[in-house]
Amino acid sequence: METTDITIIGAGVVGLSIASQVAQKNRNVVLVERHSGFGQETSSRNSEVIHAGIYYPEGFLKAKLCVAGNIMLYRICQENKIPYKQTGKLIVAVTEKQVPDLEDLLEKGKRNGVENLSLISSKKVGELEPHITACAALFVPSAGIIDSHRLMKFWETKAKDSGASIIYGCEVKSIEKISGGYRVGVNDSSGETFFFSTRILINSSGLESGNIAARAGIDIDEAGYRISYCKGEYFRVGGGKHKLAQRLIYPTPPKPGFVGIHTVPDLQEMMKLGPYDYYVDKINYDVDETNRELFYRSVKPFLPFIELEDLKPDTSGIHPKIQKPGEPIKDFIITHEEKRGLPGFINLVGIESPGLTSSPAIGSYVEKMVAGII
Ligand SMILES: Cc1cc2nc3c(=O)[nH]c(=O)nc-3n(C[C@H](O)[C@H](O)[C@H](O)COP(=O)(O)OP(=O)(O)OC[C@H]3O[C@@H](n4cnc5c(N)ncnc54)[C@H](O)[C@@H]3O)c2cc1C
């Protein structure tokens, strides 16, 4: 049976970042992905926003890794010619009643270490974005957008150049603890099963992360690792209206744990609205056209130029949430499962937003864990 030092399951943006950072120092590293290429699930079905890190509770990994990841991402983009734009973001209040919520967000953001936040007046909002309606806004200059495909390509190349093997079209089906590591069973694209052993196993399988943890023998209900699917849908803005807002424009958060339907400008200077998030039982990426009215009603108060007929169904993605409907926000789980009797097994579960922004910092975080084991 073949033996390797480190195996990573999942070539999304997080698994690729980890692979690029652990593939060093003559380690034998393998990344296994069930699809024929990288980033075919959540990592290519998101807003591609470089978040600043203001929304998350103080002390959460989500806050720390997002704030660190934001700085790292801009540097990586600049040094490696990965397309990005630091658009900045406005979180708008449309009524005076919402202004205290923005003040709370400002304080939360400062506590999380986000720099250069400011509350700005309606007049200043008008100077920055003349077509939107707001009585005040939280200005977040460090937010932006990124070409996430190019980021993943960069990490794939870096991992390979550092000696990692990336095996596409292979699905991890079984995990068995053996002396000094794990025996991993994989089905290849022809349906053949093969086995290899690994000293360290890193679960970065996104929507499957709960199931993979279960395959390693963890009681995922007791551990709080069961994934709930929460779909996020987008509508595209047509009718020439995409030019009427340059920045990321977000509403005051409608409820805890949700940022609300916002503008999502892209690097081709087009614009989507979304995501509209709701829990689902199955993975299905269809966009429900009947939600057009809901999108319209949500954004009309701050994007008065939008008309119902401007909105066309676009894409969707699925958030791998560990909080069930109505439960408070939970943190990323990134943990070495030594205490559960699984030394060398590193679990990443519930890597929802801001997972893209946090991805470089998650890679460094996991690399430190690996260095402590190997
Ligand atoms: C609607 C939406 C909007 C978002 N917007 C943003 C945003 O603007 N900014 C931001 O920072 N974050 C955002 N996110 C979050 C971000 O997209 C995710 O956190 C990130 O993409 C997670 O990456 P990942 O590598 O963990 O997971 P994934 O991209 O899901 O990758 C996991 C991989 O594991 C593979 N896999 C699963 N099981 C197996 C198996 N058994 N064997 C082999 N391979 C397997 C899958 O095929 C997949 O390729 C958003 C998410 C959604 C859903």
Position 1 scores a pLDDT of: 75
Count structural domains, the chain.
2
**Residues 345, 205 share a domain:** yes
Give the helix, strand, coil percentages of the chain, each rounded to 5: 35, 30, 35
Per-residue pLDDT at 331: 98
Is residue 57 situated within a structural domain? Answer: no
How confident is the model over 140-153, as a mean pLDDT? 98
Mean pLDDT of all residues belonging to the chain: 97
Pocket perturbation via mutation, ligand 1, pick of 65, 316, 353 by most ligand atoms within 8 A of CB: 353
Q: Which residue has its alpha carbon closest to ligand 1 atom 51? A: 46
Q: pLDDT, tens digit, for every residue of 162-209?
A: 999 999 999 999 999 999 999 999 999 899 999 999 999 999 999 999
Task: Indicate which atom in ligand 1 lies nearest the CA of residue 16.
Answer: 25
133 contacts: CB under 8 Å, gap ≥ 6: 92, 94, 301, 302, 303, 304
State whether the beta carbon of 360 lies less than 6 angstroms from ligand 1. Answer: no
Question: Structure pTM?
Answer: 0.98
298 and 248, same structural domain? yes
**Longest CA pairwise span in the chain (Å):** 68
Please give the C-alpha separations between residue 269 and each of 58, 76, 89, 262, in angstroms, as whole numbers. Answer: 34, 22, 15, 15
Report if residue 168 sits inside a domain.
Answer: yes
**Ligand 1 contact, 7 CB (< 6 A):** no
Q: Is the CB of 215 under 6 A from ligand 1?
A: no
Q: What is the DSSP letter of 329?
A: P
Residue 210 and residue 158 share a domain: yes
The answer to whether residues 186 and 221 belong to one domain is yes
For residue 268, the CA-to-ligand 1 centroid distance in Å is: 23
Q: Are residues 163 and 310 in the same domain?
A: no
305 domain residue, yes or no: yes
Mean pLDDT for the stretch of residues 24-37: 93
Three-class DSSP category at 138: strand
pLDDT at 301: 97
Return the ligand 1 atom nearest residue 49 CA.
8
> Would the CB of 156 count as within 6 Å of ligand 1?
no
CATH classification of the domain holding 209:
3.50.50.60
Does any ligand 1 atom lie closer than 6 A to the CB of residue 248?
A: no
Q: What is the pLDDT of residues 67-125, one digit of tens each?
A: 999 999 999 999 999 999 999 999 999 999 999 999 999 999 999 999 999 999 999 99
- Whether 268 and 315 map to the same domain: the answer is yes
Q: What does the pLDDT read at residue 228?
A: 98
- Inside any domain, residue 55: no
Task: Judge if 171 and 310 occupy the same domain.
Answer: no
What per-residue confidence (pLDDT) applies to 374?
A: 87
Facing residues of 91 across strands? 138, 250
Q: In which domain, by residue range, is 215 found?
A: 2-45+149-226+329-373
Please work out whether the CB of residue 35 comes within 6 Å of at least one atom of ligand 1.
yes
Alpha carbon 223 to chain centroid distance? 22
From ligand 1's centre to the CA of 28, what distance in Å?
25
252 plus 215 within the same structural domain:
no
Whether the CB of 356 sits within 6 Å of ligand 1: yes
Assess whether pLDDT exceeds 90 at residue 254: no
119 domain-assigned: yes
Query: Do 96 and 153 lie in a common domain?
Result: no
Mean pLDDT of all residues in 363-374: 96
DSSP 345-362: EEEEE---TTHHHHHHHH
297 and 253 assigned to the same domain: yes
Statement to judge: residues 189 and 294 lie in one domain: no
| Mutational pocket test of ligand 1: of 249, 356, 358, 362, the residue with most ligand atoms within 8 Å of the beta carbon | 356
**Inside any domain, residue 111:** yes
Burial class (CB in 10 A: 0-12, 13-18, 19+), 331: middle
Say yes or no to pLDDT of 258 above 90.
no
CATH number of domain containing 274: 3.30.9.10
Residues in CB range of 226: below 8 A, 6 or more apart:
210, 220, 322
Assign 285 to helix, strand or coil. Answer: coil
Quick one: 245 and 303 in the same domain? Answer: yes
User: How many A from CA of 1 to the centre of ligand 1?
Assistant: 31
| Percentage of the residues of the chain whose pLDDT score is greater than 70 | 100
With respect to residue 71, please indicate whether it lies within any of the assigned structural domains.
no
**Residue 288, phi-psi category: left (phi > 0), alpha (psi -120 to 50), beta (remainder):** beta
Domain assignment present for residue 262? The answer is yes
